[in-house]
Homo-oligomer: A and B are copies of this chain.
Amino acid sequence: MLVVEGLANKSLVETTSDAIVKLIVDNEYPVGQKLPNEYELSQLLGVSRNTVREAIRALVSRNVVEIRRGAGTFVSQKMGIADDPLGLTFIKDKEKVFLDLIQVRFLLEPAIASWAAQNATAGEIETLGQLCDEVEQQLLAGENPVKKDIEFHTQIAKCSKNTVVPNLIPIINAAITVFTNIEENKVVSKTIEHHREIFEAIKTRRPHDAQDAMLLHLSYNRNKLRKSMHLKETSFLK
Contact = CB atoms under 8 A, between A and B. Distances in A.
A83 B59 CA distance: 11
A50 B107 CA distance: 45
Interface stretch (A61-69, A142-150, A219-227): A61-69
Contacts of A62: 61-62, 82-84
A90 B80 contact: yes
A6 to B, nearest CB: 3
A14 to B, nearest CB: 9
**Count of this chain's copies in the oligomeric assembly:** 2
A79 to B, nearest CB: 5
A119 to B, nearest CB: 6
A102 to B, nearest CB: 10
Interface in A52-93: 54, 57-58, 60-63, 67-71, 78-93
Contacts of A184: none
Nearest to A235: B118
Interface residues of A, number: 64
A48 interface: no
Given A57-B61, A80-B87, A235-B118, A163 B104 contact: no
A79 B85 CA distance: 10
Interface in A1-59: 2-3, 5-6, 9-10, 21, 24-25, 28, 54, 57-58
24 contacts: A2-B69, A3-B69, A6-B67, A6-B69, A24-B90, A58-B60, A60-B61, A62-B62, A62-B83, A78-B87, A79-B87, A80-B90, A81-B86, A86-B164, A86-B168, A88-B164, A101-B164, A103-B162, A104-B108, A107-B108, A114-B236, A160-B236, A162-B236, A164-B172
Given A80-B89, A88-B167, 11 more contacts: A3-B69, A10-B67, A58-B61, A62-B84, A81-B85, A82-B85, A86-B164, A86-B167, A93-B163, A100-B162, A161-B236
Interface of A: 2-3, 5-6, 9-10, 21, 24-25, 28, 54, 57-58, 60-63, 67-71, 78-93, 96-97, 100-101, 103-104, 107-108, 111, 114-115, 118-119, 160-165, 167-168, 171-172, 234-236
The 4 A-B pairs at the shortest CB distance, nearest first, are namely A85-B85, A61-B61, A6-B69, A80-B87
